[in-house]
């Protein structure tokens, strides 16, 4: 029997319900929608998570496509599939929750006595995430950025990998994209929530996938490739049989250590650099111009050498934000020779 808080599914069964988490002071409930698949045969537990940042919805669409096709009778192990974690943010297209202005993804393992988002994180972490062997966590560029890579936490010592890090390397490649990246510790603030998930022995693989003004051009492909990745992860975890499908044989892994930040002036952002460009220190990455006169307001130059990875803002840019990310190639994995199977027995 698969149990997630107030929800359950018997072996061979698929169920849907709302995981009871928390309510606002006026009684508005923000319970989390969850599809449970209890496999007919035993196996690991896979968790799929969309829209923990409310405006990042590629994963939500891919998870719904997946849910419509998956058959619990043909699965070894269990799946917990959540198309939208942050419902209050999703409704209004915002990253954080509108109820208390918090980012649920940063709150794990949550707090039973905290604000609404703290309570949501507490129940969601303890009832769902903590029982998963693998968490596939879909993010995207929302409305104003485009991304396409698998993201994972920096390894403590690449020459002496932990069991979780060895497994994660395989799943990062198994997902099927041609690019992956990790940020050196401290690049984007504290990793306390990610550490809490790892301490629960849940292997997290994050996707930065799609979004931006290229939605109409690339949206369908990204949703399809995101769903492809879910099936690939299940193959790697031996939950189903089948061949891997991918962008190609190679997966380039970047250490993404250079973030180009927007200066404290708003304007129309014009990117001069293109994906895969190799920039030298001081090269122009992009410009901010006055949206009405076209006058140059600022140039953004790279502070270090690096290769442009598929991550960055598209043209309408206001507020404090990163504009783009450069990386250096840490390694290139070859799917033709790499054993991608991961056992959780
Ligand atoms: Zn996100």
CA of 252 to the centre of ligand 1 (A): 22
CA of 218 to the centre of ligand 1 (A): 18
> What's the DSSP call for residue 72?
G
CA of 56 to the centre of ligand 1 (A): 6
Supply the DSSP string of 204-235, one letter for each residue: EEEEEE--GGGHHHHHHHHHHHHHHHHHHHHH
CA of 345 to the centre of ligand 1 (A): 31
- Overall average pLDDT of the 190-214 stretch: 90
Structural domains for the chain? 2-248 (3.40.630.10), 257-328 (2.40.50.100)
> pLDDT digit string (tens) for 54-67?
999 999 999 999 99
By C-alpha distance, which of 56, 195, 218 is closest to 137? 56
CA of 144 to the centre of ligand 1 (A): 12
pLDDT of residue 339 exceeding 80, the answer is yes
> pLDDT digit string (tens) for 246-279?
999 999 999 999 999 888 888 888 889 999 999 9
Task: Residue count of the chain, please give it.
Answer: 345
134-139/76-82 β-pairing: unpaired
- pTM summary value: 0.95
> pLDDT digit string (tens) for 74-99?
999 999 999 999 999 999 888 898 88
CA of 43 to the centre of ligand 1 (A): 29
> Average pLDDT of the chain?
93
CA of 142 to the centre of ligand 1 (A): 8
CA of 61 to the centre of ligand 1 (A): 15
Query: Which pLDDT score, from 0 to 100, does residue 244 have?
Result: 97
Q: Which two tokens mark 306?
A: 């690096």
The most distant pair of C-alpha atoms in the chain lies apart, rounded to whole Å, by 65
Secondary-structure percent of the chain, ordered helix, strand, coil, rounded to 5:
25, 35, 40
CA distance 167 to 80: 20
CA of 57 to the centre of ligand 1 (A): 10
> What's the DSSP call for residue 129?
G
CA distance 38 to 73: 8
CA of 140 to the centre of ligand 1 (A): 6
CA distance 313 to 322: 8
By C-alpha distance, which of 173, 215, 228 is closest to 62? 228
CA of 55 to the centre of ligand 1 (A): 8
CA of 10 to the centre of ligand 1 (A): 33
């Amino acid at each position: 029997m698969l149990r997630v808080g107030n929800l359950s599914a018997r072996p061979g069964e698929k169920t849907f319900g709302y995981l009871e988490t928390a309510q606002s002071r006026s009684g508005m409930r923000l319970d989390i929608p969850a599809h449970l698949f209890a496999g007919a045969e035993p196996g690991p537990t896979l968790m799929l998570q969309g829209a923990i940042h409310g405006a990042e919805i590629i994963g939500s669409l891919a998870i719904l496509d997946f849910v419509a096709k998956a058959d619990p009778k043909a699965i070894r192990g269990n799946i917990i599939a959540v198309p939208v974690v942050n419902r209050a943010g999703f409704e209004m297209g915002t990253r954080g929750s509108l109820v208390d202005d918090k980012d649920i993804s940063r709150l794990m393992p949550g707090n039973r006595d905290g604000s609404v988002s703290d309570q949501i994180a507490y129940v969601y972490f303890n009832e769902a995430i903590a029982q998963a062997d693998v968490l596939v966590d879909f993010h995207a560029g929302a409305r104003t950025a485009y991304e396409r890579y698998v993201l994972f936490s920096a390894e403590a010592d690449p020459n002496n990998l932990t069991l979780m890090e060895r497994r994660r390397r395989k799943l990062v490649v198994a997902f099927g994209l041609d690019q992956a990246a990790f940020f050196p510790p401290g690049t984007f603030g504290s990793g306390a929530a990610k550490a809490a998930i790892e301490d629960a022995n849940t292997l997290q693989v994050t996707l930065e996938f799609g979004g931006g003004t290229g939605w109409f051009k690339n949206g369908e492909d990204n949703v399809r490739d995101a769903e492809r990745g879910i099936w690939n992860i299940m193959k790697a975890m031996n939950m189903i049989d089948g061949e891997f499908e991918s962008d190609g044989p190679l997966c380039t892994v970047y250490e993404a250590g250079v973030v180009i930040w927007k200066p404290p002036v708003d304007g129309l952002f014009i990117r001069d650099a293109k994906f895969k460009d190799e920039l030298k220190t001081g090269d122009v990455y992009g410009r901010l111009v006055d949206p009405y006169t076209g006058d140059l307001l600022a140039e953004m130059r790279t502070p270090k050498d690096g290769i442009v990875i598929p991550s960055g803002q598209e043209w309408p840019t206001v507020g404090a934000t990163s504009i783009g990310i450069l990386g250096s190639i840490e390694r290139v994995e070859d799917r033709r020779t790499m054993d991608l199977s991961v056992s959780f027995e």
